[in-house]
Amino acid sequence: MQISYLECTRCGEHFPADRPQNTCPTDGGVLFARYDLASLKGKFRREDLSGREASMWRYAEVLPDAKPVTLGEGFTPMLPSREHANVYIKDEGLNPTGSFKARGMSAAVTMAKHYGLKKLAAPSAGNAGGALAAYAAAAGIEAHIFMPRDVPIANRMECDYYGAHVTLVDGLISDCGRMVAERIKKDRSSGNNDGGFDVSTLKEPFRVEGKKTMGYEVAEQLNWKLPQAIVYPTGGGVGMIGMWKAFDEMEELGWIGSERPKMITVQAAGCAPIVRAWETGRSAAGMKSASVTKNAAATWISEPWVDAATFAAGLRVPKAYGDYLILDILEKSHGTAVTATDDEILSAVRHWASVEGVFAAPEGAASLVAYQKLHASGFLSAEDKVVLFNTGSAYKYLDMIETQEKKARHEQSAARHIGGIIGPY
């Protein structure tokens, strides 16, 4: 559908969608694409979806009106858990390029092509880079990707093979993001606009549009009854932000009611800025409500995480640009935020693989850890219908998983050698 306008999620200001936009020039707020859903209500119905192609573009009426650059992304399986009744695994590992990032990049590159952009740039913790490279290749657009030097080898190789220009950085995704911004700024100030267009997480409006289709799918695949909770591994948080937007849109379309799932963030214990902000905010006496205006005023933000370290590469995001949106969603949905250690994540990767037949990315397996913890604490009951997101395929992390295995085995054997104190083995 034609986008009516882009709206700042901080100040509510409107911007035209007929040209490329990054963030709100006044306050840096994330821009959301808005459609005329009122006039779509009744015309675009749930029944209209039957028989449509099994990709995220089946929801074309609520996506930008442009010719899709598609590799078949979306409409991934919703697998009932073999282990827990009422639990589902939404397996995003089956997307092109092996992760949920395909959705966002399909939408972002579609619009980049629509606008006639020739060059795109983005920092990546790994999978976003691979997805951007693939969709840019399919669209005939140049991609410039900045990644930490120690990303999984699959991410480096796929970017290379897709023909992207890759810069490996001694640092984290936040350092990569700074480099992208600086390069574009420098190019602009020198009068040539050749630095490319910044498609960093939440710094353009359309990656959210692609990822919101996960929210539509959760509803459609569960027969239009949203679950009681959704567990989402949170790095940049766009999946959660997109799904929340989708729920609001579906309510406006008359497809669902006002009930929402508890939205649950899981982060790695070695990089948990959202969890820390959530816990600090919850425990602060007389804390101001995070949602003081309908546009999620930025009263509640996270602090950058120092020395971020985890083998779940996609969760190694020291500070999410959309933290104010994520925290707002956690609060409005009565959700929560929990951590998983690398050891717990590694065990969960093996557990899911051996019990469910799902070889999940470490980020995805963290969802299982969160479920186990929240079930044990009573936050979730066995009767609650819960969707756990596996955000990617383990096949992209074989080197990381093997290294982590060796580390865990080494630590175990070291523990065993402390004078026989720990044993017997």
User: What is the smallest separation between the CB atom of 10 and Zn ion, expressed in angstroms?
Assistant: 4
User: How many CB atoms are closer than 10 A to CB 285?
Assistant: 4
User: What is the smallest separation between the CB atom of 5 and Zn ion, expressed in angstroms?
Assistant: 13
User: What is the smallest separation between the CB atom of 30 and Zn ion, expressed in angstroms?
Assistant: 9
Determine contact, residues 128/363, Cβ cutoff 8 Å. no
User: What is the smallest separation between the CB atom of 32 and Zn ion, expressed in angstroms?
Assistant: 11
User: What is the smallest separation between the CB atom of 31 and Zn ion, expressed in angstroms?
Assistant: 8
- The nearer residue to Zn ion, 24 or 345, going by C-beta atoms, is 24
3-state secondary structure of 38: helix
Determine contact, residues 110/66, Cβ cutoff 8 Å. yes
User: What is the smallest separation between the CB atom of 24 and Zn ion, expressed in angstroms?
Assistant: 3
CA distance to 403, 421, 425, per residue, from 414 (Å)? 16, 12, 13
Alpha helix (H) residue ranges in 236-392: 238-252, 273-283, 323-332, 342-356, 362-377
Minimal CA–CA distance to 266: which of 171, 359, 191, 374? 374
- The nearer residue to Zn ion, 232 or 300, going by C-beta atoms, is 300
Minimal CA–CA distance to 93: which of 408, 367, 418, 327? 367
Binding to Zn ion by CB under 5 A, coded x per residue (else -) over 206-235, reads: ------------------------------
Considering the rule CB under 5 A, would residue 295 count as an interface residue with Zn ion? no
Binding to Zn ion by CB under 5 A, coded x per residue (else -) over 3-42, reads: -----x-xx-x----------x-xx-x-------------
Geometric angle at alpha carbon 66, from 64 and 68, rounded to 5°: 100
- The nearer residue to Zn ion, 11 or 179, going by C-beta atoms, is 11
- The nearer residue to Zn ion, 10 or 103, going by C-beta atoms, is 10
User: What is the smallest separation between the CB atom of 324 and Zn ion, expressed in angstroms?
Assistant: 12
Geometric angle at alpha carbon 204, from 201 and 205, rounded to 5°: 105
Number of residues that bind Zn ion (CB under 5 A): 8
- The nearer residue to Zn ion, 24 or 89, going by C-beta atoms, is 24
Determine contact, residues 152/312, Cβ cutoff 8 Å. no
Determine contact, residues 339/272, Cβ cutoff 8 Å. yes
- The nearer residue to Zn ion, 29 or 130, going by C-beta atoms, is 29
- The nearer residue to Zn ion, 30 or 240, going by C-beta atoms, is 30
Measured in degrees and rounded to the nearest 5, phi and psi for residue 322 equal -100, 30
Which residues of this protein are in contact with Zn ion, per CB under 5 A?
A: 8, 10-11, 13, 24, 26-27, 29
